[in-house]
A and B are shown apart, each in its own frame.
Chain A
């Protein structure tokens, strides 16, 4: 037994010696399921084969916050992984941690092919910080079969709060024994509805011109959203499981035909359309409904991106860049999209998918692409940068829940603003 251990150690030592001659690129990510982590591993293997002097080692490091923590700790100990996948709300944290370098600084990059609003999110202070990897946005899903039964025209889905309310009144009148509308209680949707109105979530240009010091949670845009949610709920049109951020629970309500309309991420298009087939109804997909009387600004691109750390050799940085460009090249992004439903973040990938007949096969993807491609690049749709974003999200979710259980919109939002502002103040006070 002991001898085996000894041989094992010796073998390891030799193996690391052999590797020392090649460049190792560790890639820490937060995708634990076999489908997605398997795909990453497969791409790393292919890349390693084509580049014998580079060894990319992908590793699953737990949830997004866990992955960020692990990367920060490793960097403090002088052994950072070269590449780290960071979730959107962690962008400001990643910047403030000081362990990353803008990927643009390595050079040799051409951004012209990346979809503008996507790149916009990860461009901070004029520099491209990271390469978008898994991105999505929310769309309206609807049950065409139920819509017909309720006397609605399934070819004209509601696009505004008002038209959705009117549709829901018809659904209620039809007495189908189902609720009208559902989405899971996640601040992400609120953020999207703010962006659609061209309204930033925090001050200082959504935290992009300077560090945000205050949230804009009592703005008219915020009130529009909550007033509408309140009306939907008070009329008995809205339903959700009651748990915060319960994606699966809300999807189950839609696929079990207990609601006619549902809002969730484009990343679920594949899964939900399969479930719809099993459940025996026709699924429709449309643009995210927005507040009445405003011009559609578009969505904030959600998801995660890949960052390059600072404390690595220039060779490692270049190898890391090469791998990330390979992983997000035209073919791979099209493949990634087909596998997971995340946006292919390159224009050329969308062209490729079109050529392959993907859009004809999955027409609902056109809606998703259209929503993204028509998004105007401005501060609101670039998304907010907030240090304690996770905390602010929870505060927003609690405010929405309070409105659902009877608190007035003004009171809930004022309280949320003061709590969120306090969180931002505390965070900013610890920035040196």
Chain B
């Protein structure tokens, strides 16, 4: 038995791969290498000067309390988005999976926030939570006589951003959980029911383990989402503020990199931050591969 008998010609695969490789090289590998190079130089975009700095920019970043704070905030934010996002969407998916009238409509309504662009979502939240004219404070004022300033109290603002980010990705998570729930073998649930398992036991011992490959997948998707895809939301909703301690409480790593790279023209420093982010993503990926082996994918 010869397994690799499809391509006799050794050149042909390369020829066929060539267009893809060119695109990857131009749009991915070259910029990535350039970022790596820039991170070692004290580069300023405006003067196009770049003076070799070695690892000094990394050292500066790792010593900078504002960077520490951004890192810590990003981790807390990410953990909250993953835990709250997944538990909320699993609960909603379980509800949406019930056989009730109009289930299709409910499902559609649950998934729709995902179709909104982050910019629109951000603007929406900004208007709803405007302290003087927003709907939320009008309700709060008429019923409790309070008008919190949502976006300049660091804790309220952080909570609001977490909530908005969770809400924004809810549709995506629900869609995947719902698909997994609908593909679940009915025999197992029936068997559990016949054995006298309570609904909670069925959920805990049968549904949850069967969902674990999906949960595993969604955990990593949501980590990536909270690290990178929340940029638009942050930019529109808080601009990284309000300030707390050394930096803005919603100035997460990606937003900090954007500010330095594109507003402050500190190219080298931004590149160093990009490299550190790359290392973190590498770490997350490695973790995904490592832990992935332990997830049960069924037979």
Residues on A lying within 8 angstroms of B by beta carbon are 65-66, 69, 72, 76, 93, 96-98, 179, 182, 239-246, 249, 252-253, 256, 258-259, 387-388, 390-391, 394, 397-398, 401-402, 404-405, 423, 426-427, 430-432
Contact = CB atoms under 8 A, between A and B. Distances in A.
Contacts of B44: 427, 430
A69 B45 contact: yes
Given A243-B239, A398-B248, 6 more contacts: A65-B265, A243-B237, A256-B132, A394-B259, A430-B47, A431-B49
Contact of A97 (B46, B133, B241, B259): B46
A390 B263 contact: yes
Interface in B192-248: 237-243, 248
B149 to A, nearest CB: 5
A428 B226 CA distance: 36
Interface string B113-138: 00000000000001100111100000
Interface of chain B: mostly helix, strand, loop or mixed = loop
Contact of B132 (A72, A93, A179, A397): A179
Contact of A93 (B46, B49, B51, B126): B46
Given A242-B153, A405-B242, A388 B131 contact: no
A198 B263 CA distance: 29
Contacts of A179: 132
Interface string B131-162: 11100000000000000011111100100000
Contacts of B157: 242
A372 B149 CA distance: 35
Contacts of A423: 264
Contacts of B243: 398, 401-402
Contact of A391 (B42, B131, B264): B264
A242 B132 contact: no
B126 A243 contact: yes
B126 A249 contact: yes
B74 to A, nearest CB: 19
Interface string B248-270: 10000000000100111110000
Interface string B13-47: 00000000000000000000000000000101111
A401 to B, nearest CB: 5
Nearest to A400: B243
A96 B241 contact: no
Contact of B47 (A96, A239, A258, A402): A96
Nearest to A245: B239
B133 A253 contact: yes
Contacts of A66: 262
A394 B152 CA distance: 15
15 contacts: A65-B263, A96-B47, A97-B46, A243-B237, A244-B241, A249-B126, A253-B130, A256-B132, A390-B265, A398-B243, A404-B152, A426-B266, A430-B51, A432-B47, A432-B49
A65 B263 CA distance: 6
Contact of B151 (A69, A243, A259, A394): A243
B22 to A, nearest CB: 19
B49 A72 contact: no
A241 B151 contact: yes
Interface of B: 42, 44-49, 51, 126-127, 130-133, 149-154, 157, 237-243, 248, 259, 262-266
A244 B240 contact: yes
Contacts of B153: 242, 405
B241 A241 contact: no
Contacts of B238: 242-244
CB-based closest 10 A-B pairs: A242-B151, A242-B152, A258-B132, A398-B243, A430-B44, A244-B239, A256-B133, A253-B132, A391-B264, A244-B241
B252 to A, nearest CB: 15
Contacts of A398: 241, 243, 248
Nearest to B66: A419
Contacts of B130: 241, 249, 252-253
A405 B152 contact: yes
A258 B130 CA distance: 11
A432 B262 CA distance: 21
A397 B248 CA distance: 11
Contact of B126 (A72, A96, A241, A244): A241
Contacts of B51: 430
A96 to B, nearest CB: 5
A249 B133 CA distance: 9
A274 B242 CA distance: 31
A394 B238 CA distance: 13
A401 B242 contact: yes
A69 B151 CA distance: 31
A401 B152 contact: yes
B293 to A, nearest CB: 45
A72 B47 CA distance: 9
Contacts of A182: 132
B127 to A, nearest CB: 8
A423 B154 CA distance: 25
B278 to A, nearest CB: 22
B4 to A, nearest CB: 36
B45 A242 contact: no
A182 B131 CA distance: 12
Contacts of B46: 72, 93, 96-97, 387
Contacts of A427: 44
A245 B248 CA distance: 14
B295 to A, nearest CB: 41
A173 B259 CA distance: 43
Contacts of B237: 243
A239 B133 CA distance: 11
Contact of A243 (B154, B241, B262): B241
Contacts of A432: 47, 49
Given A239-B132, A241-B151, A256-B132, A430 B240 contact: no
